[in-house]
């Protein structure tokens, strides 16, 4: 391939030049591709016999974006901006032929062409904001000129792509090509030449640049930003498209891009992007280990989690048998699943036909005998060891040889469950998060005996059902909940010392979490933990007092907060304040005003400390794995890169010193800095350097 360079080929089809790039897997716009495009465009411009140009890609997609491995390295000319200048220099019709995903810089190249055609399955979008960036090659100036600032803002700030048909309706593309794309694009180019269609570059269009609707959309968005820089920069750049001349807008866009790309937020988001991919590679798995085939699944228990997990399978087109203990419970579970789907249909998120198809893949039974054809079984019965063991003894007897046997336990010892079977190599944990059909995180718990190919199967399956799988080791609470437990202890301690739930929650949401620990507790229900503590003879002074007063959380309209009927908005509750003050005085604590910075530190640093112990013990393989868990499972603000990344940004010496102070003040030994933190801090290193 490639008579210009190994990645870029230029050929003639009569008077049309076709420039095709082939840079697998996604035709990222790496340096060689940019150089080839610039050179091809120069040749096409200078050859008087050439009447039109088609730009397309081989393989599975049009340019899917910049080569993000080049970020943070010295730029190598030509940059994407120069390629686009080369496009602007061609005074002949240039047609972009789109297939696959024309994303980011790829879509910006297409926007700089005179025309765009696409096959029906193609999608276009500007996802830069998801990496903490904005489209930096003219996207924020050209897209508003093509579809109006309000729509452009929506696409740029969400980062979500649109389908070819919608793009056609919006005027982003000019024609949908059925059949061979390149031939269709060449035909389109010839017609353009023959019909003498006016050649108007997107940059020269002004007719859609109306301010109407933009100001409101921009303001609504800005209100929700909570310190996120990239969407704010997107708003500013699109506003420039309306208020300043094109060249000026481009210059400002470039400035904004430079600021973002060197800033902490984008660094954090790029860290998560790579950490997520890295998490799929588990150390110690022999090269070439293949996943087992999964064509059929079974879920045991049609409760909160079982129903959601069954939906995950159905959504991915995998038939699933769901087993309950009796007809009524089964029906209740299936009704809840159907209700969830109906809600999605009524919101316009799913067609009624698709709902039926998915429901048709879920088969409810009340007899465990019927799981014999399942390639994977996920147990989601009550959190009781004896019950789980009994279920696994039955699974051992009934499941087909080689089936992966998974437990959705949140706290129990996966190795003990595995030992209930004669095939512990096939047993592992799949820890879904609630609601299981929505939450992206999947902790895959690797038991002591879990076979590499069983583990690889669970990871592949996780990805197939749209999850972000992260492999963890066996311990109480695994990674996420084990760290969360530290935060809960500290949150209660803050209340006893002088804070109120609304102050703690405001500090945590101010940090960037969508919800504070107490609103979260109210949502999950406070009575669950209360019952467990009662059973174990333990006491949690404030939360137990709340439960004793009927404060079970949202379900009773009052928990740490009170809730108006039909509302989920947490409101401060004087009765709760009284219960807290009583608890403080019973404990002999003289309450004090706790500064917000201290609240944030005490909500975050103990979790980082636990994360360090988790790394020391090898429960997580990499700090990045922990970061991915917190971003996808617990709403950690992605632009802060996860707890371990954040710790490295702050510097471990600072974290060590603060933890030591809090440990001394509270007398709580678990707050002492973990040896890993002390040791790395002494050497001036961070978690990432391990
Ligand atoms: P749940 O009480 O809503 O559902 C459990 C279901 O299992 C019930 O419908 C029960 O009838 C059924 N069941 C009990 N014994 C059974 C048997 N022998 N065969 C078939 N069905 C049986 O509980 P849940 O919240 O869905 O939790 C299930 C598991 O998932 C637990 O291990 C829990 O720790 C774990 N988990 C829960 C959450 C959560 O937020 N709810 C999150 C992660 C993990």
Ligand 1: distance of its center to the CA of 608 in Å? 30
Mean pLDDT of 519-531: 92
Q: Whose CA is nearest to atom 25 of ligand 1?
A: 304
* pLDDT number for residue 73: 81
Tokens for 366, please give them.
Answer: 């009340």
Give 438-459 pLDDT, tens digit per residue.
Answer: 999 999 999 999 999 999 999 9
Distance CA 455, CA 445 (A): 9
Which residues 6+ apart lie within 8 Å of 317 measured at CB?
Answer: 361
Cα distances (angstroms) measured from residue 9 to each of 5, 23, 35:
7, 11, 12
Q: Whose CA is nearest to atom 15 of ligand 1?
A: 381
> How many C-beta neighbours within 10 Å does residue 605 have?
25
Mean pLDDT of 361-369: 97
Mean pLDDT of 76-95: 94
Distance CA 40, CA 555 (A): 65
* pLDDT number for residue 2: 63
Q: Whose CA is nearest to atom 4 of ligand 1?
A: 303
Distance CA 130, CA 62 (A): 20
> How many C-beta neighbours within 10 Å does residue 13 have?
16
493-495-499 Cα angle (round to 5): 125
Question: What are the pocket residues of ligand 1 if the criterion is a CB atom closer than 6 Å to any ligand atom?
Answer: 300-306, 323-325, 329, 380-383, 387, 391, 408-410, 432, 434
Q: What is the DSSP string of 116-166?
A: EEE-TT-EEE-GGGGGT---TTTHHHHHHHHH-HHHHHHHHHH---EEHHH
- CA dihedral of 419, 422, 425, 426, whole degrees rounded to 10: -100
Q: Catalytic residue numbers?
A: 108, 128
Mean pLDDT of 223-249: 93
Mean pLDDT of 385-395: 98
> How many C-beta neighbours within 10 Å does residue 320 have?
22
Give 337-353 pLDDT, tens digit per residue.
Answer: 999 999 999 999 999 99
* pLDDT number for residue 71: 74
* pLDDT number for residue 108: 98
281-283-284 Cα angle (round to 5): 125
**Nearest partner of 453 among 626, 282, 277, judged by Cα:** 282
pLDDT exceeds cutoff 80 at 72? no
Ligand 1: distance of its center to the CA of 380 in Å? 4
Ligand 1 atom with least separation from CA of 434: 40
Ligand 1 atom with least separation from CA of 300: 20
Mean pLDDT of 614-631: 98
Mean pLDDT of 362-379: 97
Q: Whose CA is nearest to atom 31 of ligand 1?
A: 383
Tokens for 382, please give them.
Answer: 């009550």
Give the SS3 label for residue 432.
Answer: strand
Is-contact 360 353, C-beta < 8 A?
no
Q: What's the distance, CA 616 to chain centroid?
A: 27
Ligand 1: distance of its center to the CA of 261 in Å? 45
Sign, CA dihedral 651-657-661-666, equals positive
Distance CA 279, CA 277 (A): 5
Q: Whose CA is nearest to atom 35 of ligand 1?
A: 409
Ligand 1: distance of its center to the CA of 381 in Å? 4
Task: Please classify residue 363 by burial: count the beta carbons closer than 10 Å to its beta carbon, then call 0-12 exposed, 13-18 middle and 19+ buried.
Answer: middle
Ligand 1 atom with least separation from CA of 432: 43
* Confidence grade of residue 318 (pLDDT, cut at 50, 70, 90): very high
Ligand 1 atom with least separation from CA of 383: 32
pLDDT exceeds cutoff 60 at 1? no
Cα distances (angstroms) measured from residue 16 to each of 52, 100, 183, 382, 434:
5, 23, 11, 67, 55
Give 265-309 pLDDT, tens digit per residue.
Answer: 999 999 999 999 999 999 989 999 999 999 999 999 999 999 999
Residue 505 gets which letter from DSSP?
A: H
Ligand 1: distance of its center to the CA of 408 in Å? 8
Question: Does the bond joining 283 to the residue before it have cis omega, within 30 degrees of 0?
Answer: no
Which residues 6+ apart lie within 8 Å of 198 measured at CB?
Answer: none
Give 8-59 pLDDT, tens digit per residue.
Answer: 999 999 999 999 999 999 999 999 999 999 999 999 999 999 999 999 999 9
Query: For the chain, what's the residue count?
Result: 690
* pLDDT number for residue 9: 97
Is-contact 608 640, C-beta < 8 A?
no
* pLDDT number for residue 13: 95
pLDDT exceeds cutoff 80 at 369? yes
* pLDDT number for residue 69: 81
Pocket-testing residue among 300, 302, 305, ligand 1, by greatest number of atoms within 8 A of Cβ: 305
Ligand 1: distance of its center to the CA of 475 in Å? 20
* pLDDT number for residue 226: 76
Ligand 1 atom with least separation from CA of 326: 11
* Confidence grade of residue 681 (pLDDT, cut at 50, 70, 90): very high
Which residues 6+ apart lie within 8 Å of 597 measured at CB?
Answer: none
pLDDT exceeds cutoff 60 at 381? yes
* pLDDT number for residue 211: 85
Q: Whose CA is nearest to atom 8 of ligand 1?
A: 303
Mean pLDDT of 73-97: 93
Distance CA 258, CA 669 (A): 45
Give the SS3 label for residue 300.
Answer: strand
Tokens for 206, please give them.
Answer: 């002004």
Is-contact 405 399, C-beta < 8 A?
yes
Task: Please classify residue 618 by burial: count the beta carbons closer than 10 Å to its beta carbon, then call 0-12 exposed, 13-18 middle and 19+ buried.
Answer: exposed
> How many C-beta neighbours within 10 Å does residue 83 have?
24
| Reported pTM | 0.92
Give 475-497 pLDDT, tens digit per residue.
Answer: 999 999 999 999 999 999 999 99
Phi, psi of 610 (to 5 degrees): -65, -40
């Amino acid at each position: 391939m490639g008579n210009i360079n190994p990645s870029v080929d230029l050929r003639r089809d009569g008077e049309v030049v076709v420039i095709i790039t082939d840079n697998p897997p996604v035709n990222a716009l790496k340096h060689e591709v940019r150089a080839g495009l610039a050179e091809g465009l120069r040749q096409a411009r200078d050859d008087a016999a050439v009447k039109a140009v088609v730009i397309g890609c081989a393989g599975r997609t049009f340019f899917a974006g910049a080569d993000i491995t080049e970020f943070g390295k010295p730029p190598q000319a030509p940059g994407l901006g120069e390629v686009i200048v080369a496009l602007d220099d061609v005074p002949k019709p240039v047609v972009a032929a789109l297939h696959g995903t024309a994303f980011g810089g790829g879509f910006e190249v297409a926007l700089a062409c005179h025309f765009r055609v696409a096959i029906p399955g193609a999608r276009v979008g500007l996802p830069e904001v998801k990496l903490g960036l904005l489209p930096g090659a003219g996207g924020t100036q050209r897209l508003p000129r093509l579809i109006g600032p309000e729509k452009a803002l929506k696409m740029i700030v969400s980062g979500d792509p649109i389908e070819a048909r919608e793009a056609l309706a919006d005027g982003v593309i000019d024609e949908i090509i059925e059949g061979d794309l390149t031939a269709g694009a060449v035909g389109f180019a010839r017609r353009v030449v023959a019909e003498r269609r006016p050649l108007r570059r997107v940059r020269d269009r002004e007719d859609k640049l109306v301010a109407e609707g933009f100001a409101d959309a921009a303001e609504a968005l800005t209100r929700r930003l909570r310190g996120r820089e990239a969407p704010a920069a997107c708003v500013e750049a699109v506003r420039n498209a309306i208020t300043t001349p094109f060249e000026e807008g481009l210059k400002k866009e470039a400035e904004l891009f430079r600021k973002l790309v060197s800033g902490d937020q984008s660094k954090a988001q790029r860290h998560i992007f790579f950490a997520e991919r890295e998490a799929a590679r588990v150390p110690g798995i022999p090269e070439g280990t293949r996943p087992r085939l999964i064509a059929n699944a079974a879920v045991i228990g049609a409760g909160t989690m079982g129903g959601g997990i069954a939906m995950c399978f159905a959504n991915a087109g995998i038939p699933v048998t769901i087993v309950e203990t009796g007809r009524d419970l089964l029906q209740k579970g299936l009704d809840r699943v159907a209700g969830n789907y109906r809600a999605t249909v009524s919101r316009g998120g799913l067609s009624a036909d698709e709902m039926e198809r998915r429901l048709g893949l879920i088969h409810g039974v009340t007899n465990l005998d019927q799981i014999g054809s399942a390639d994977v079984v996920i147990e989601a019965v009550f959190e009781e060891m004896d019950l789980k063991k009994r279920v696994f003894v039955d699974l051992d007897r009934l499941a087909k040889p080689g089936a992966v046997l998974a437990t959705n336990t949140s706290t129990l010892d996966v190795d003990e469950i595995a030992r209930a079977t004669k095939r512990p190599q096939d047993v592992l944990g799949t820890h879904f998060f609630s609601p299981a059909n929505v939450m992206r995180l999947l902790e895959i718990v690797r038991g002591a005996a879990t076979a590499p190919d069983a583990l690889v199967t669970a990871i592949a399956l996780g990805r197939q059902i749209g999850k972000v799988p992260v492999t963890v080791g066996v311990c109480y609470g695994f990674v996420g909940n084990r760290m969360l437990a530290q935060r809960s202890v500290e949150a209660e301690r803050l209340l006893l010392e002088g804070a109120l739930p609304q102050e703690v929650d405001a500090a945590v949401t101010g940090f960037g979490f969508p919800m504070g620990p107490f609103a979260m507790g109210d949502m999950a229900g406070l009575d669950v933990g209360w019952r467990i503590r009662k059973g174990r003879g333990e006491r949690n002074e404030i939360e137990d007092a709340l439960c004793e007063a009927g404060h079970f959380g949202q379900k009773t309209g009052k928990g740490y907060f009170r809730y108006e009927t039909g509302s989920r908005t947490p409101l401060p509750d004087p009765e709760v304040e009284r219960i807290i003050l009583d608890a403080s005085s019973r404990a002999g604590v003289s309450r004090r005003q706790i500064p917000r910075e201290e609240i944030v530190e005490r909500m975050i640093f103990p979790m980082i400390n636990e994360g360090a112990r988790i790394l020391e013990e090898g429960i997580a393989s990499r700090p990045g794995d922990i970061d991915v868990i917190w971003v996808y499972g617990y709403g950690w603000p992605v632009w802060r890169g996860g707890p371990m990344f954040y710790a490295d940004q702050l510097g471990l010496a600072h974290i060590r010193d603060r933890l030591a102070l809090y440990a001394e003040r509270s007398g709580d030994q678990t707050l002492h800095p973990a040896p890993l933190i002390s040791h790395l801090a002494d050497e001036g290193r961070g978690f990432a350097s391990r």
